[in-house]
Amino acid sequence: MSKKKDITEAKKDILLYDDHKLVTRRDFLSSGMISMSTFALAPTLLSLLKSNSAYALECNTAQATIGKTPVIIFDLSGGANLVGSNVMVGGPGGQMDFLATYETLGLPMDMHPSKANQLSSELGLAFHGDSAILRGIVSETSGNVRPKVDGAVFCTSSGDDTANNPHNPIYWLNKAGAMGGLTQLAGTSNSISGGKSIVPDASIDPTVKPVVLNRPQDALGLVNIGKLGELFTPQKAQRILKAIERMSEQKIMSYGQKSLPDQIKDLVKCGYIGSQDLIGKYTADALDASKDPMVTQVFDNLNNGDQRKVATMMKLLMDGHLGVATIEKGGYDYHNNTRATGETRDFEAGALIGRCIELASLKGKDLVVYVITDGGVAAREGIDNSVGGRGKLSWTGDSGQRSSTFMLVYRNLGRATLRNGNRQIGSFKDTGAVENAATPSSNSVVNLAKLITANYLALHGEENKLAAIVGDNPFGANLDKYLVFNKIT
C-alpha cells in the first residue's frame, strides 16, 4: 500500500471527533486526543540544535539503550558518616594505612580496624567489620553475588547539611555514555539534580533534566499519549500517531527552501517516528516494576516508600530504559547525641544498595552505585551502649572535614580488577579529618564530580575523553593514579 493510501485509510477510520474531522496537529491538540506531553517523547528543538551532541548524531528514541553501565546515585541528605565507621579510610598509604585513632569518626579504641575482626574486605573495598552500611548490603545480597563487587572511596571535604554541594555528576555521566532508551536521567526530587545536592554548573544540560519518579506508576507516565489512550486501542492509537507523524513530515518538507539544516529536519522526523513507536514498545508490563517478578523478588515490600522509589528506578536502569538515577534519602542529619539513630539509617541505606546489587545479578547486568552526602558528622566522648548503639561513640555534630563519597561496581562477569592496587583516592589525617591538600579533588567537590566521571569513563576504556566531557582535566598527567579500575566491558 502506498504512503498516501495508508494515510487516507487511517483518516477514514479514526480521524473523527465531535462531529468533525481532525486534520491538523492543532485539531488533535485542541480535541485533547494528544497533549503537548506526547511530543516530549521526541527530541526538543533545543536538544536538536545542540552542537557535538550524541542526540544530534543519531536517532534512538525507541531503541533499547546503547548506553554504557547504568548508574544509581544515593544522595543521603543531612551529612551522614560514610567513612571510618563504614567504609575504611587511612592515611597516604590507602585504606590499610590506619589512622592513630578513629574516635572522631565514631569508633572507640577497642573497635580500631587494627584489632581482630574489626575489618571486612568481603566487597573488595574495605569496610569496618561492624559497618551498618555493610551489614545492610550483606543482608540483601547472596553469597555468590558479593564476590563480584568492588569499590573505591574518595576522601573529599564538603559543606555541612546543605544543598549547595555540587556533588552530583549526573549530567556528565550521561554525556559519558550512561544513556537510556526511554529517558536519560531521573530523580526522586524535582530538582536540577533529581536529589538534594546540586550539580556542577558547567555540567547542566536542560534538555535532559531528570524526570521525577517515585513509584511504578510514574514510569508509565513517561509514555503519555493523552486522550488517545482512553478513546482507542493501542493499535488504533498507533495508526493515529503514524498519520500525524507523516503529516508532520510533509509539513517539514514544505520548508525545504528555508534555512533549517537538513540534519535538523531528519532528526525532527526521526523524533516523531519514535513517539508513535513507543506505544507498542513501552507497555505497562515493560515499565511497571510491580509487574516484574525479578524486581518484586528483591524489592519485596513496595508499600515501603524507599523500596518503591528504588525499585522503580532499578527496573528502568536494568532494562535499558534509563541511564542514571538519583535517589534522595532523608534522615541523615543524625547527630542527636546517640549512635542508635545513625546505625539504623546507615543500615537502611546499605539494605537498599544491597537490593540494587542483587537485582543487577538477577538481570545479569553490570551496575555502578555512587553514594554522596552533604558534609559529614563527628563523634565525641560518650558511648551508646544501647542495643541499637552497639557500643560505639555517639554522633554529636556536623563535620564537613569528615566527609567523603564512595562508589561500588558490580560486574556480572566477575569482580573488576584494580588499576593501581589502590581503592582510596585522597587521604585522612590522624585527627580524623580529610587531608585537603592530598589531591585536586580533596577540597573541591566540583573536581570530585569530574573524578567520578573520569573513573566511570575508565570502566569503559575512555578516560582520555574526560576533558571533552567535563571541559578540562584538573588532574593533568596524574589522572591515571586517581583511576581505580581497569576496563570492565
Confidence class of residue 253 from pLDDT cuts 50, 70 and 90? low
Per-residue pLDDT, averaged over 244-256, amounts to 52
pLDDT value for 215 = 93
Task: Give the model's confidence band at 257: pLDDT under 50 very low, under 70 low, under 90 confident, else very high.
Answer: very low
CA 306 to chain centre: 15
Q: What is the pLDDT of residue 131?
A: 99
| HSE, side-chain direction, 13 A CA sphere, residue 311 | 24
Mean pLDDT confidence for 139-162: 95
128-132, 266-270, 283-287, 465-469: the lowest-pLDDT one: 266-270
Confidence of residue 234 (pLDDT cuts 50, 70, 90): low
Window from 120-134, 209-223, 390-404, 467-481 with minimum mean pLDDT: 209-223
Give 228's pLDDT tier (boundaries 50, 70, 90).
Answer: low
What tens digit of pLDDT does each residue of 162-185 get? 788 999 999 999 999 999 988 899
Domains and CATH numbers, the chain: 3-61+224-281 (no CATH), 71-220+301-482 (3.40.720)
Looking at residue 15, its pLDDT comes to 46
Average pLDDT, the chain: 84
Look at residue 250 in the predicted model and tell me its pLDDT.
Answer: 55
The residue that leads in pLDDT, 31 or 328, is 328
Residue 86 identity? N
pLDDT of residue 65: 40
158 phi and psi angles, rounded to 5 deg: -150, 165
pLDDT at position 59 is 41
pLDDT at residue 66, rounded to an integer? 57
β-pairing, 324-329 with 367-373?
unpaired
Give the residue-averaged pLDDT of 126-134. 99
Please state, in angstroms and rounded to a whole number, the distance separating the CA atoms of residues 472 and 479.
12
Mean of pLDDT values over 277-299? 83
Average pLDDT over residues 70-75: 99
Task: Give the mean model confidence (pLDDT) for residues 26-36.
Answer: 44
Sole residue written with cell 532494562: 319
Higher pLDDT, 231 or 405: 405
Which percentage of the chain shows pLDDT scores above 90? 69
**Could you tell me which residues come within 8 angstroms of residue 315 by beta carbon, excluding any fewer than 6 positions away?**
216, 219, 287, 288, 289, 292, 295, 321
pTM (two decimals): 0.81
- pLDDT, mean of residues 242-263: 50
**How many helices and strands (H and E) does the chain possess?**
15, 14
Q: What are phi and psi of 97, to 5 degrees?
A: -90, 75
| Range of weakest confidence among 33-47, 55-69, 109-123, 352-366 | 33-47
Q: How far is CA 50 from CA 38, 207, 464, in A?
A: 22, 9, 22
